[in-house]
Structure 1
């Protein structure tokens, strides 16, 4: 089991690696520090911000959009989630199913329970009718096959896959868990969420930043998250630039960050807001 001290050390090591990497690249980066550790049954939730803010409490150095790291309590794997996912707890289902490989109850399980209850109370024919009412894309023959196999304890994987596709909402990449380091691995996995990559859209985790000078997103709208949460409009280039200083104001019309500071962290910032598409006012 991974203890609290080991989890803090893992995150501090990662923050130092990021700092050294961008110092070597000529970026005027600031050091980051761990500020809070929360115990969860699956992970240690480790929050961080700039050392300068910890030392001075000056809001100018307070980061925006930097989601916490997650350190697996079993194998020590290092992961990260965006702000929205951290606040809402949406990361947990993804973590259980995809990172840990644990069973997670879904809408298709509720359907199976309902079909079994109908079959027990009113018979198999009524269960078939219930299935077709819920999922009319099934033909009568497919519905009979589905219910019969389900009641016999061996539901058809092919038909269950169809039901799952219809009933289970795909994971929003903004809420996905991003793997930074696999347990025991020395190489970074670029902080990219695996689920997002499989969906065909490279989404960054909360410490990702747009490269300065990127073009404005076409028709960019509220990403449903926060700056740096990974909800970039498709097609923009991304990189893991550290948040250095929060020095610019968002456009007042941005529904997510209205009146809040940009967390891109560069005084010469020319990036665009992922929510409203407006350029930072620097």
Structure 2
């Protein structure tokens, strides 16, 4: 089982990255952490309160996030799923039938060799819809040259949304324990 300290460290790494739309996650800190049989459930909060017209200052919370105890992957749990407890069954089912035991980078590399650049791009775009075409092309081009894609591209490529299937979002992972 991944340690509590490592789970917090992984979440802090995610929070240090700029989010979409210029939202700065670095203003968040870990607020609460609960051990779960499968890993760690982590809640965050925004350090600086926001001014809301007619309401004054409010402190926003974030998460819940789930850090898998086996592979260190980080997942965002939709709040409704967390409150109802549905996320646990969804996560266990996803974990059982997931093909994610082969990292995306490795699958893209294999496809690049076996079927070419277009097929590799198609897979990357399907698995990482938040990546722009240029980012996807840069990622595949780096692999073609035998290089590692940049850390930013690797991070973007590992944001996999399974919302159409179950609502949970894998943010990163697997991560080194």
Return the match for 1:60 from 57, 61, 66.
57
Aligned-residue CA RMSD (Å): 3.4
Matched-pair contact (CA < 8 Å) for 2:67–2:75: yes
Shift of 1:28: 6.6
How far apart, CA to CA, are the structure 1 residues paired with 2:67 and 2:96?
Answer: 12
How far apart, CA to CA, are the structure 1 residues paired with 2:168 and 2:38?
Answer: 22
Q: TM-score, normalised by structure 1?
A: 0.33
Matched-pair contact (CA < 8 Å) for 2:75–2:168: no
How far apart, CA to CA, are the structure 1 residues paired with 2:11 and 2:56?
Answer: 23
Please, which runs of 5 or more residues in structure 2 have no aligned partner?
Answer: 50-54, 99-152, 172-177
Q: TM-score, normalised by structure 2?
A: 0.51
CA distance change for structure 1 residues 13 and 61 in 2, over 3 Å: closer, same or farther? farther
**Aligned twin of 1:187:** 155
Across the two proteins, how many residue pairs are aligned to each other? 110
**Aligned twin of 1:32:** 28
Bigger proportion of residues as strand = 2
CA distance change for structure 1 residues 186 and 2 in 2, over 3 Å: closer, same or farther? farther
Task: Trace 1:1-282 onto structure 2 (pairs within 5 A).
Answer: 1-18=1-18, 27=22, 29=24, 31-53=27-49, 60-63=57-60, 66-101=62-97, 186-189=154-157, 191-194=159-162, 196=164
Structure 1 runs (4+) greater than 4 angstroms displaced = 189-192
Which has more radius of gyration? 1
Bigger proportion of residues as helix = 2
